Amino acid sequence: MPVVLFFSVFLIAACGLIYELIAGTLASYLLGDSVLQFSTVIGSYLFAMGIGSWLSKYIGRGLVARFIYIELMVGLIGGFSSSILFLAFSWTDSFRFLLYLLVILIGILVGLEIPLLMRILKDRFQFHDLVAHVLTFDYLGALGASLLFPLLLVPRLGLVRSALLFGIINAAVAFWSTFLFRESIGRPAGLRMLSIIVLAALSAGMFGADRIAAMADDDLYADEVIFARNTRYQRIVLTKWKDDIRLFLSSHLQFSSRDEYRYHEGLVHPGLAALPGARQVLVLGGGDGLAVREILKYPSVEKITLVDLDPEMTKIFSSNPALIALNKGSLKSSKVRVINEDAFPWLDNSSEVFDFVVVDFPDPTNYSLGKLYTTAFYRLLARHVSVNGFIVVQSTSPLFAKQSYWCIVTTLKQAGLKTWPYHVYVPSFGEWGFVLAGAGAYEPPATLPSGLRFLATQNVADLFRFPTDMLPVDAEPNRLNDQVLVRYYEREWKDISH
């Protein structure tokens, strides 16, 4: 009997610690800055436990029934804590509020557990034995949980299921207590029924865990988050794993520092190197300054105008040391003018003409972004390019989104431009497509700036050759009033992910 009793102390201690670890992990996972998150979560949790212990003195009669109620509540709230937090992060703006609300609620309930249990057991043991045994098992439970959590639970079950599993353990302890302390409860049947309901709810959660995770999945990252910020326009997240820095904008990977040179050399040089003497360059999107870094390799370029909607983006990429190391401080060059405006209306109100235009927008995932890939936009762009100048458009993957890629080519043609489609292999993206467009004629460049890591003069022409599985397919042009591209894109990327 005593061992069995103290085993339940062990279990509830483990549960208590697990909820605390889950809250801390989730907070550092989703908000970044793990030292801050863990400190504040542990601090609030321990403080709340103190409140719980203090409140325990107000519980007078019916100790066992109260204890069982508390176990069930801890099980329910703790068990669903990570599901609630994941969903809250993805779907609401009140993540932080809910995080601390849950931490404090669970803390108070857990703080009530041990004092109540000790009072329940006080008549069965000598006081000095009781204190010694309860605390021993309490600390053992904590040790067990702290080892189990990183080694087994997170890798095998994930955060959503781990919490639910321990919720089930809490509820099972409650159920078990209805038998253990049978003689101290007036009507055990009601409590047993309630325990079964809670157990059923938590088990249902276990079965539905995949769906809960999938609903929140887009905002989870494989690597450590070193920077995260919600701006007016998007969510900017930087992750780091060893020497690899990755940028995500609203959950879409923008680059990996390991291979971005392939993307940006491929984006800029085939066009710009073919325009000796180009002086005015426009970059639309590309607030990371990486395309600008490549453009600055041409001494003839006098002025680079960068139009990116999000001031936070250009600010981070001209102030964070790790990012400045990546873009070589390109955004701070005296040749660069940064304009934080919406590209379409900006261009519509501008009368400037450029020799080379880099169009590096996010993929056309919705109708708002799709406007930037329409005949209307390209017609406008064509009016801002000098007679022999070129436009280059990042155009998603000609392998994974074939019809989307060729739709962009068709749209540029429909806008009265000649096109020279090409592609580059970028390991973190796969095969990636670009389209060079202009009114004049194009010949691959005879020379390239020195110091490139990917492109060499003899292999530029190869980029314009498409293997059989990426050959042109029929596509309608994308118009403002009939955005076929968004539909192609949605269908093709959905096919990939299933």
Partner 1 sequence: MNSRRQFLSAALIGLSAKAERTIAGSFVNDAFPLGHKLRDRTLAVSPKNVVKVPIVIVGGGIAGLSAAWRLDKRGFNDFVLLEMEGEAGGNARSGSNEVTSYPWAAHYIPVPSESARYVRELMEEFGVLKDGEWNERYLCYSPQERLFLHGRWQEDIEPSDSSTPRDREQMKRFAELIREHEETGEFTVPMELGAKPSKLDRTSMLDWLNAQGFDSKYLRWYVNYACRDEYGAGMSDISAWAGIYYFAAHAELDDKGPITQPDGNGWIVKRLVNKLQRHIRTNAPVASIRKTGSKIRVLTPDTEYVCDTLIFAAPLLLAKYLMDDAPPVATQYSPWITANLTLDRMPRERGLDLAWDNVIYDSQSLGYVVATHMSLRSRIDRSVWTWYAAVNDRKMLLEKPWDHWRDTILNDLERAHPDIRQCVSRIDVMRFGHAMARPVPGSIFSESRMRLTKPHGRVLFAHSDVSGFSVFEEAQYRGVIAADRALRMA
Residues of span 281-340 touching partner 1 by CB under 8 A? 309
Figure out which of the listed residues 59, 157, 369, 452 binds partner 1, where binding follows CB under 8 A: 369
For position 54 contacting partner 1 by CB under 8 A, the verdict is no
Q: Given the complex with partner 1, which of 240 and 379 has the nearer CB atom?
A: 379
Figure out which of the listed residues 342, 431, 476, 492 binds partner 1, where binding follows CB under 8 A: 342
Q: Which of 219, 360, 363, 462 is catalytic?
A: 360
For position 154 contacting partner 1 by CB under 8 A, the verdict is no
Q: How far is the CB of 283 from partner 1 (least distance, A)?
A: 16
Figure out which of the listed residues 254, 374, 403, 419 binds partner 1, where binding follows CB under 8 A: 374
Q: Given the complex with partner 1, which of 85 and 145 has the nearer CB atom?
A: 85
The C-alpha atoms of residue 370 and residue 489 are separated, in whole angstroms, by 10
Q: Given the complex with partner 1, which of 180 and 376 has the nearer CB atom?
A: 376
Figure out which of the listed residues 246, 293, 371, 384 binds partner 1, where binding follows CB under 8 A: 371
Whether residue 360 lies in the annotated active site:
yes
For position 94 contacting partner 1 by CB under 8 A, the verdict is yes
Distance of CA 90 to the CA centre of its chain: 10
Figure out which of the listed residues 122, 368, 416, 446 binds partner 1, where binding follows CB under 8 A: 368
Binding string, residues 462-491; x marks residues near partner 1 by CB under 8 A: -----------------xxxxx--x-----
3-state secondary structure the chain: CHHHHHHHHHHHHHHHHHHHHHHHHHHHHHHCCHHHHHHHHHHHHHHHHHHHHHHHHHCCCCHHHHHHHHHHHHHHHHHHHHHHHHHHHHHCCCHHHHHHHHHHHHHHHHHHHHHHHHHHHCCCCCHHHHHHHHHHHHHHHHHHHHHHHHHHHHHHHHHHHHHHHHHHHHHHHHHHHHHHCHHHCCCHHHHHHHHHHHHHHHHHHHHCHHHHHHHHHHHCCCCEEEEEEECCCCEEEEEEECCEEEEEECCEEEEECCCHHHHHHHHHHHHHCCCCCCCEEEEEECCCCHHHHHHCCCCCCCEEEEECCCHHHHHHCCCCHHHHHHHCCHHHCCCEEEECCCHHHHHHCCCCCEEEEEEECCCCCCHHHHHHHCHHHHHHHHCCEEEEEEEEEECCCCCCCHHHHHHHHHHHHHCCCEEEEEEEEECCCEEEEEEEEECCCCCCCCCCCCCCCCCCHHHHHHHCCCCHHHCCCCCCCCECCECHHHHHHHHHHHHHHC
Figure out which of the listed residues 4, 35, 93, 127 binds partner 1, where binding follows CB under 8 A: 93
Q: Given the complex with partner 1, which of 91 and 179 has the nearer CB atom?
A: 91
How many residues at the interface with partner 1, by CB under 8 A? 40
Q: How far is the CB of 349 from partner 1 (least distance, A)?
A: 10
Q: Which stretch binds partner 1 (CB under 8 A): 87-95, 141-149, 180-188, 391-399?
A: 87-95
Residues of span 208-237 touching partner 1 by CB under 8 A? 218, 232-235
For position 351 contacting partner 1 by CB under 8 A, the verdict is no
Figure out which of the listed residues 6, 221, 344, 356 binds partner 1, where binding follows CB under 8 A: 344
Q: Which stretch binds partner 1 (CB under 8 A): 16-24, 93-101, 299-307, 382-390?
A: 93-101
For position 133 contacting partner 1 by CB under 8 A, the verdict is no
Q: How far is the CB of 322 from partner 1 (least distance, A)?
A: 24
Catalytic residues: 360
Contacts with partner 1, residue ranges (CB under 8 A): 84, 87-88, 90-94, 97-98, 101, 218, 232-235, 250-251, 309, 342-345, 348, 366-372, 374-376, 479-483, 486
